[in-house]
Structure 1
């Protein structure tokens, strides 16, 4: 049985976005090895016959000692397992995992999932790290056009790549649901609670909109990646401006309750938040950035607003609030249709299987 090893910084990256691919590989008789920090969602894959190796990852840390430990741990595991191919996901896991595969001469497919606009020394360092980690990739999976063009320029158009619609969305899992009445309009925020996901702008928008439109609710779902926001959100919740919904393993019931999602992120590969809400027939209001704009047709399936611009966000939110009910509902239906034609997760799984066959032979 051939081994295939997947590296990710979190268990929910595998569970939420790669389950269909992983189960396809298990079905096709690969020995699937999942490498990430332990989380409860790994139990599902273990029960399905996958192997799990716990390697801790400081996803946003810049401590060189910790990063060297991570590289060493990846090296030990990959050298010991000798997989036929390695699949890497997100920047740090892809850079360091790719570097190790390069040293060990093991084929690997990279999925970086977006280009973050780093400033200062980190911004100067990232292109060097990308070259170190991605130079010998058997294939790079690009989630949006901006990411593709950045790397094509960085590597002088010499790397082989495929373009995919992000992680896609499972249309059988995220089913179209009836649109709720709009006596009270519910806006979701679904993301890690950290500045780069636009939480500051969301909180300011909620404060100003709630004062003008009391028949609105702003509900935040996600983990506190930055604990400094906990007090601020609790204070606003105490004033009735926002609600904290916590961390949800299954977001579908909460998407169903909502009328729209607001996604003010600063950068994305291809945001699953937009894809999942759209698949269930909900309107999406998102920052006009790569990885978000591809999932929203401005004025048809939702609205785009200027990144980091609260006034622009509020304008989009008010425009949505003031739509007639049937127009809101119709927007949601068009969002679902867009997912069916452009973002079906089967497209992503099929692309990966094609590349694995090309690189290692029959699957």
Structure 2
């Protein structure tokens, strides 16, 4: 019998249920708010599928595991879930954690539909077992670099911490901006405090500082230091990884957290399905849903269609990625092989550069889009 999940997206039904493993960060140091939104979207979609009679006449049932942003914990969870007989895995927000989960799912022959993680190299080698909804980091961060150039920024400092994800982001920005006249200087935030970072901004005459660091710290301290340094009036603070998306950002930073452009994976207008889902997610979360909640919903929408067409056999499910076409909350979802990307990829996921309006922090302003 399956062990109870940490958080259940559907009530236990019977042994005929199709069990889906869900990986989400629900405790620190994982980004708990992101995990909560991702799980809310997954749970809502499962409810909708089951209310409509399930898939191939069988209900979906979730088995949720908390990754806590720990790659080793995620790997152990994949092993456990595979042993429990789940048909497939969905979820995960943190790229480094998703990479570990994808590697293990590939090794075990377990289909994994990654919801949110963007790291290009999600697996070392091309795989048939893994597909992804979020756009690859290179595509999103190049769009962000286009935004910077269009806004006149040529001297850019990166406040960066050590990780595979941040290093990949820094490389994408440097490789894209340098041929176009941009100068990218990286600051090691493992060696500098926020005050020293402000000094570096002045010394290098930078016009933009990008946060390639964890949240809440040191991101919150860096933003406060820059915002309250009289030498840095007018400096652009950017957060391509999307830290300002969540309500916790505004709760901790208030007005200091506005006008900080970040990447958001939503279209200008949601599909009719998206509008309905947005209303339901608002009720479930008691706040406006983030793009991560829509990613969670769409993973189950896709997986339900895969199951409907090909059943719960793992090998047949993995073979279905290139043949599935689903109307999601943010547009038509289809998977292709994208150059440089090792997994099946939704190639045209919507991307925006947005910020929070200083006059109304709960309102997002679209600054640039694909």
The bucket for the TM-score relative to the shorter chain is 0.3 to 0.5
TM-score with structure 2 setting the length = 0.38
The structure in which a higher percent of residues are strand is 2
